[in-house]
Structure 1
Amino acid sequence: MVFWYKDNIGMPWYSLDARSGLSHASHLTISGDLGNRLYFIMDGEPSQARLKIENISIHDQGIYRCRVDFVNSPTRNFQVNLSLIEQPSSLRVFDAEGREITSNSSAGPFLEEHDLFLSCQVNGGKPRPTVTWWHGNSLLDGVVDTSSNSFTTVNQLFISHVSRYLKGARFECRATSSDTAGHITRNIPLIVYLKPNKVKIVSPNELMSNRKSQNIKCETSGSYPPAKLTWLLDGKSIKQSIVTEEETEFFTASILTLTVSADDDGKELICRAENPRFPGSRIQDSRLISVAYPPKVRVQLDSELSLPAKEGSEVRLKCEGQANPSANNYRWYHNGHIVQLNSTSGVFPIDDVLIMKHVDRKSAGQYACSATNSEGETYSATFDLQVQFTPRCRKGYEEIRVGAIPQKKIKVECHVESVPEVNKFYWTYNTSRNVLRVQGSRMENKGSISTLYFEIPSSENEVHSLSCWAANDLGPQVVPCLFLLVPASTPERPRNCIYTNATVGGTLKVTCRPGRDGGLPQSFVLEVKDVTPFNPPSSGVSTLSDQGEDAPPAFRFLGERPEFEIHSLQPGREYQVSVFAENARGRSTPYEIMPSIRVPLSDTAESVKNHELVQPNTSNQKVSTNLTPIYIVLSSCAVILVIVIITAVSILACRKPSTEVVVRRKNTRKPNNMTEDFELNSEAGFGSGFHRRSAQYRASMYGMDDVERRISNIVDRPDLILSPRSLRNVDEEDQV
């Protein structure tokens, strides 16, 4: 008989009664789960007999004892310790933040050269399971990080510096309770971000042209995901430029189309590569760019001399600036004219330096320089060089002829120039015997002009000339301004007169060139006479004078320049215009501009310019026989209207219209007091104050007695209309 016992239980779990032979043996099992899973197998060979337990579980583990009772032999016992292996639960993997990495997902992303942490854990298992990390066939970590009595077994993998070679790698976590039972495994793909390991500006570092575009290429590699390239110039991001990019999994290229200026020369150009998903992964390559540009120059004082410079001192000017490539040609300019080498005058333009050994008044002015290189030529701003010098006569005032009248006062003006300004004037006069200082005469000084009111003495002390002297802080004037006194004479008549714009509006402009003034200040008078032929009425009776006398001037204009503008000439009338000059000695012969000038009647009449004036019709012209009766009636009305106008003008002239000049004489005025006002009422339609200024001017020019005499003559003449035209300076040749 065979009996199977388990542990300390005295009742057999399985028994075999073979007393009737093995082939007829009876089998008996204990009731319950284990009894239902027990089978005794002999397979025809008693030595191979065995007990089979199906669907074994951990509860089946224990000490099994086999007892065999023989018929004629002692009972034998066999003991077997059945140890069962219980595999742990399936693996679970977590990252450093405690997030579980599920099936079919990857761990990461991890950053190159940063830390990696993964935790693999299982529950249960008998005997206590082992948990390990593997990379291919390499064991990474085989240390269990939990206590032996813990239900959960954990292995934490930590790598302090993730290598770039781990990109795309797979880690494997293995767990087993016995090698016999095999392993439970889990493959974990890794995501590793790589920083760029290379960046370079591959285009040659060539000289760049100013304002011209040039392509510059930069390449980077080693980054995952691919790096982004950015360009910087002088530390600032480049904008408004064209950038072309090429990108692969590990390689990125950027082509920059850059337009530079002269200000960019020497600046740092940077190509920067950065993985946008990898903080701190920035690397860069840089170079200093060289830009070819025209010179940028300015004029500087190349000495310790302070401005303004003193006459006779040495001045050095430096043409400073920058250029790439270097400037190879310099030019110097003074007041817009090129400065040439002049060793006699001590002027030496030597490349970028201008040396002036002895500066004088003519050396002052605006200086500029220009420089040239392969990119072109540029000019500097002007440099104002001021030179201090003692007073000297202004150009055109060195020697002036002045008309003199014995025992009459004259007015002379001395114009000088100096740096610094004049602080003193004095006058001398030269006689045949001596040079004397002017005393007792009135002198007015204003800035660089001194005005002397000098009375010509009697002939026994004849004065030949006057000399004007000035002084400033540097010293006195060396050569005086000379005024030669010559006997005054009447002026020459004006010349080269032209007239324009004889239009329907009745406007006529007359411009002449003044003749010689006879040594005295002169003024100009334009007279306009109405010379329209008179056609008597059909009755033959005329109310006008038939004595054949010349018609008096209809208008008279007075001006300080022979430039006049006549308004309100009557259409259909003919006028004679003449111009003459006058001074204290008298008047010139008149310049008769033209025997007659007609103002057109029609609005369509063209303006007559430069001597092209409408000529009058002769009185003996006959009316065309083709005129209609209506035209004859209109012509008769026009003739009557002309007669009425002439009559009205004659009456108004006799009554002295309100527009004529009214002269007020003050009996209390002293003849020798030339500073008092000599008043004339201003004419309507002309600039206010003109007559007052003209009267003062003439008073200072002729003396009071002569002025009163001449104004009395004016009152007896026809109307005097003063020219309001703005006057320009007299030409130098006309002043002499």
Structure 2
Amino acid sequence: MKSLPQLFTNTRVYQATFLLMLPFYVLNSDIPLLQAVVDSQINLPCNISLPSEDDSISLVLWYKSGISAPIFSVDARYGPLENSKHFTSEFLGQRGYLDFNFESDLAFLIIKPVEDGDEGDYNCRVDFRWGRTLKSAVKIDVIVPPRSVLITNEKIELLYGTIGPYDEGSSLILRCIAKGGRPLPTVTWWRDSVEIDNSFQEADEQDVRNDYIIRELSREDLMAEITCQASNTNLTSPEAAAVIIDMNLKPVDVHVISTRRHFCADRQFGVECQTTGSRPPANITWWLGTQKLNAAVEIVKDGGNRTVSNLVFVPTSEDNGKYLSCRAENRKMPGISKTDGLTLNVHYAPILYIYLTPNQNPDKLYEGNNIHFECKFQSNPKIVKLEWQYQGSTLLTNSRTGIYVRNKSLVLQNVSREQSGTYRCLADNLEGRGESKGLEIKIKYAPVCKENQKAIYAVTVEELVEIYCEVEADPNDVTFTWTVNNTGYSREVLSFDSFGLKSVARYIPYDENDFGFVACKAHNVIGVQKEACIFTLLYVR
């Protein structure tokens, strides 16, 4: 009787002939779908995992739907796989080759470049020396990108590069036409990487069109790059065309700039006027009331976007209260102007700043200390009233409470923790009221008992009682001590635990004389608690 290897050897020729002639198809609705773009590369996976360690691959065959013979094969029946020959078909030619990845137990049929006719079902068959045949299937969907993208106006005139200039406020119609592509592409308009229109429609069987209408051009549209994209896949970058909008713009603003708060008669001063947004650059003229002034020098900056005019002027006493203005006009848009100006005497409300005197550290304000505040201010005209506030309420001198208001200074003597909060200074002049930003202070203090604690504990002789004590303190790093007091003696309680601002003592009365009062005290870096927390032990028979 012949062994299996002998039988395999005797039937090689017959098997090879049969396998090469008979295509294999996997009829499965769950076949993986791969997408590829024309002229790109695609890798078709094939499972080549060995059934056992002593087995090996004899034959790898690839088939495509609609083609009876294998489109690619590797024959390893007569020698090691690495020395075997690879056979490609007329269909693939030099576009296909097989790459083995034994670490992942996969072989990839690589097709490059992909052609339109590559679309369809593909099947891989792997024969082994001894094991059962492995079969894999995959489906390729070939995508044909659009041939071109064009931008035109409503008259079908081709637009590209920088277009215009268009007048601010006018309308603009841009039409995008994408030609070809399978499936038909999505045609969208983009501005600064943001999609602004996706209302495309099919123009005919081959073209897709999208019209983008700007009903009123604004200055934000100046030099804006508007891009039309056509895409039918995420596998490649979209086909695109872009235009840049050039425009004529009106002046957007005008500002008079002066380094002086007020102006003195018979003294020379300079004042500057700036205007932006005009395209082409604006022309600036100066006016004192209705009189035109000519002693100015004009400079165009920032590539024409900004025009600066500097005026040198000597006012007289008669000019007090007059309005000095500059006017910006676009020469190509006559009749449209922007104006700004100033009155030659400028007043403003007080500007105030509150601070602690330099010898005080805001992080080391302790209960019992004195605190000194100062208020700085700027004002034109002079201040007529200065006020201090705490938490929104006005402060007045009160020697009983240690509060002293001294115009620009505020002194708090022997402060308590209740005086923590926000302080500010306020001032009035003829222009109005100004106030400083609030200065918040936090006064640190020694421990005090927290209110509403359990104060009475009823226990019997030799009963363990746990007494809870809680304090308030800032900083909250405290140390506790406990004592028990009765008519006969007073001694320290040593059995207790502390955690943060809380402590619990454990105490056992052994006879009636051990009952009385238990006291809890704490201290921190500020000091020792003045009044202990007192707890009463009642004897229960």
Alignment TM-score > 0.5, same fold: no
Q: TM-score, normalised by structure 2?
A: 0.40
Q: TM-score, normalised by structure 1?
A: 0.30
The structure with the largest alpha-carbon Rg is: 1
Which structure has more relative contact order (CA 8 Å, sep 6+)? It is: 2
* Structure that is richer in strand per residue: 2
